[in-house]
């Protein structure tokens, strides 16, 4: 009897795992070339993300440093929690730093076989050291992702 229970549980977990968006699927959705307009300067910022979570600044405007973090929680009974990617872009001078955080997540489309990327939000943090001033601003940026094998971009939805 315990062997049958084990087989049923293993089967249920296998079906659940294939039906959910796991970290591997999320990383393949996140990879690609992106662009947005820097809210401070109005200039384009272009960056590329690999399926391993590495980021490269292609056109950096005032940004000089970039980092990506992907976070999700594991689950012993079924699929993992949905992965969220945070893209961090820092720029500024010796006295002032501006860091932009863009949070992305994968969205499973109705047919359940395809997944797209969506943006949660974008915030900008300003740290002006000599004046002892810090700001956090929620930015209304439009993020675009480049179509595969094309020079065209499409808007990443919220």
Q: Which residue in this structure is represented by tokens 């047919």?
A: 111
For 81-131, the pLDDT digits (tens) are 788 999 999 988 778 888 999 999 998 877 666 788 999 999 999 888 777
**For residues 30 and 103, what is the distance between their CA atoms, to the nearest angstrom?**
11
**Domain residue ranges of the chain, discontinuous segments joined by +:** 2-155
Q: How many CB atoms lie within 10 A of CB 37?
A: 15
Of 91, 111, 110, residue with least CA distance to 101: 91
Cα of first residue to Cα of last residue in the chain, in angstroms, is 48
For 26-39, the pLDDT digits (tens) are 898 999 999 999 88
pTM of the model: 0.79
């Amino acid at each position: 009897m315990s062997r049958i229970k084990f087989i049923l549980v293993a089967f249920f977990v296998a079906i659940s795992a294939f039906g959910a968006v796991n970290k591997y699927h999320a990383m393949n959705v996140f990879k690609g070339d992106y662009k947005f307009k820097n809210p401070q300067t109005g200039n384009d910022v272009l960056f590329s993300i690999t399926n391993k979570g590495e980021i490269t600044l292609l056109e950096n405007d005032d940004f000089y440093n970039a980092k990506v973090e992907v976070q999700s929680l594991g689950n012993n009974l079924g699929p993992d929690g949905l992965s969220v990617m945070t893209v961090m872009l820092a720029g500024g001078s010796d006295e002032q730093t501006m860091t932009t955080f863009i949070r992305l997540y994968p969205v499973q489309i109705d047919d359940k076989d395809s997944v797209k990327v969506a943006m949660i939000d974008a915030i900008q943090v300003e740290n002006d050291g000599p004046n002892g001033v810090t700001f956090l601003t929620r930015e209304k940026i439009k993020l675009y992702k480049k179509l595969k094998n094309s020079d065209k971009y499409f808007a990443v939805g919220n």
